[in-house]
Structure 1
Amino acid sequence: MLWPFGTTWRPVRQKRRSTVDLRWLSARSWTRRWYPQGIDLGLWHGRRTLAVSWFRQQLDGHHLASRIAFVDLERSRHLDVLLAVEEDGELQPAQIHAGGLAWFDDRLFVAATGRGIWEFDLGGIRRVRGSEARRLAGARGRGLRATALVAVRRRVHPIDIRCSYLGRVFDDDGTPLRRVLIGEYTRDEKGRIAEFTVPASDDEDFHEETRFTPGIRQMQGAVRWGGRHFVSQSDRMRPGVLWTGARDALVRDRVPLPVGCEDLALDLDAKMLWSLGEHPWKRVVRGIPFSSLGVEG
């Protein structure tokens, strides 16, 4: 299948048992150059689609580039879009951790750890070629990348917490709100989560509504549905932990998250909670049915 610009979709393996597991059928399953981080859902050309953010780094940890893999949930294929910044009329790679995503129509908000929230324009995706495509992907020298699709940053939104991850907020009846949860990854229990209203125009800023400290180490993602919060906690090479409930009374759920778990996304249409694992050879994008979590959709 071809996207309108002529870029091919690539297959993803999908298994359905007690969960829906998507796995990458390429070197991205084990590479140490690219790491998956954030996740959210939206409509891509009218089709229900998962967005998964990746960052590219050198082995010393220096960030080189970032991208979004858009996964067609029905056809189990994905398409990559590089993230870029325009400086003096020239595109540069977005060298951010991309720890979380919030997708609002053509506006994609990305957590740029320690550097606020970056907003990218999905309505103005460009096609680049040759050396420019390789450079925006963080690649050096010659390579096989002939063309690439690129989403360009529209704006940086300063936030006064670390912005490690980013998640959507829904009302009790499932109505998506123009709000997000932004949180901090810390190795101790001092990490904070704050809820913000998303600006409706370029004349507005993110407006903080509330914040709290759950007392959970190594938080990786958070979303809210009505009065229920969902928070992910990583545990190195062990399965991740999911915490659910009211923000002041979060309880550890019996259902494990993927090893090296990261961000969270709510899929109220499919009655599912999505997460993903970042570690090489253990990478999976996992949908957990609400019924397994004791949640009524």
Structure 2
Amino acid sequence: MLWPFGSTWRPVRQKQRDTLDLRWLTARTWTRRWYPQGIDLGEWRGRRTVAVSWFRQQLDGVHLASRVTFVDLERSRHLDVLLAVPDDGGELQPAPIHAGGLAWFDDRLFVAATGRGIWEFDLADVRTVRGAAAQRIAGGRPRRGRTTALVAVRTRVHPVALRCSYLGRVFDEDGTPLRRVLIGEHRTDDSGRIGEFSIPEDADGRFTEEHVFSPGIPRMQGAVRWGDRHFVSQSDGLRPGALWSGPRSALEQDDMPLPVGCEDLALDINAGLLWSLGEHPWHRVVRGISFARLGIEGTGAEPPARRT
């Protein structure tokens, strides 16, 4: 396997005036077994990378596995890393989580575990697993032949007094990343809450609540903050999603649609893009929306001013 990005497969990059799309070219675009959910940006083996989380299920909805796909933003090559948890005997099992949101801090990857807090995985200790163990962690049936997988192992479970459907990063008004996250609840009605939490500095720390608010928006899927401006995604079945933005007490719907079946959000300060993604088969896309289209002047050098 080539390293750090082992696949020669590349998604199609479609650059428009206001958006940059990455589209899957394999069964990932239509399969009903794997569904993309969370997104964030970081650095993988020295290369600027977008991370996309997926969960795997049987057709009857029984959860099987979760993974994160790391896509090199310059070369578009990708690498899959399965998420695993050790059982009581120390054997690795597939992580049974929806993985609805990601927050990536250096080698620490935080993943939303709906109803079970935030799970932390160690990207500094990604392991190579082979054979039946690799097939098990991927949620597949044992089969003949050589199977190799990369695996990130859970190191901690962080309890949070929210449903933890998704989470996103927080930046100050200068574009500096803060050690904080937004954690939100997906609800079909307008009762969903979003909380801002400081992340623990060490293994013994806990998520510290800064504040919690209720935007009054049903079907929220993701949230991030830059300065005093929040961005929230809202899904609408098989129709394009909606983007809400503004101060947390006065969110307004933007006229820029999000992908069909929109999910999580991630701010890319360096490239001047707000990333989202669509989960539904045949509508799957990873889309970056230019800050200019959203009425944000500059990139990390300027605070996000509202369009007038």
TM-score range, shorter chain: over 0.9
- 2:223 corresponding residue in structure 1: 222
Q: What is the one-letter code of the residue matched to 1:15?
A: Q
Q: d(CA) in 1 for partners of 2:69 and 2:144?
A: 20
Check conservation: 1:133, 1:145, Cα contact below 8 A: no
- 1:159 corresponding residue in structure 2: 160
Q: Secondary structure at the match of 2:265?
A: strand
CA-CA distance at 1:142 after TM superposition: 1.3
Question: What is the percent sequence identity of the aligned residues?
Answer: 72
CA-CA distance at 1:64 after TM superposition: 0.7
CA-CA distance at 1:144 after TM superposition: 6.2
Is residue 110 of structure 2 the alignment partner of residue 109 of structure 1?
yes
- 1:255 corresponding residue in structure 2: 256
Question: Can you give the 5+ residue segments of structure 1 that lack an aligned partner in the other structure?
Answer: none
Cα 1:90/1:7, change in 2 over 3 Å: farther
Q: d(CA) in 2 for partners of 1:60 and 1:138?
A: 14
CA-CA distance at 1:10 after TM superposition: 3.0
- 2:15 corresponding residue in structure 1: 16
Question: Can you give the 5+ residue segments of structure 2 that lack an aligned partner in the other structure?
Answer: 300-308
Q: Secondary structure at the match of 1:151?
A: strand
CA-CA distance at 1:8 after TM superposition: 3.4
Q: d(CA) in 1 for partners of 2:286 and 2:217?
A: 23
Check conservation: 1:134, 1:145, Cα contact below 8 A: no
- 2:29 corresponding residue in structure 1: 29
Check conservation: 1:258, 1:277, Cα contact below 8 A: yes
Alignment size in residue pairs: 296
Q: What is the one-letter code of the residue matched to 1:43?
A: E
Q: TM-score, normalised by structure 2?
A: 0.94
Q: What is the one-letter code of the residue matched to 1:167?
A: G
Within 5 Å, give how 1:1-297 maps onto structure 2: 2-3=2-3, 7-18=6-17, 19-87=19-87, 88-142=89-143, 146-296=147-297, 297=299
Structure 1 or 2: larger strand share?
1
Which string of whole-angstrom CA distances, capped at 9 and with x for unpartnered residues, describes residues 127-152 of structure 1? 01111111100001316661000000
Q: What is the one-letter code of the residue matched to 2:169?
A: R
CA-CA distance at 1:58 after TM superposition: 1.0
Q: Secondary structure at the match of 2:133?
A: helix
Q: Secondary structure at the match of 2:28?
A: helix
Q: What is the one-letter code of the residue matched to 1:41?
A: L
Q: What is the one-letter code of the residue matched to 2:150?
A: L
Q: d(CA) in 2 for partners of 1:143 and 1:107?
A: 34
Q: TM-score, normalised by structure 1?
A: 0.97
CA-CA distance at 1:217 after TM superposition: 0.3
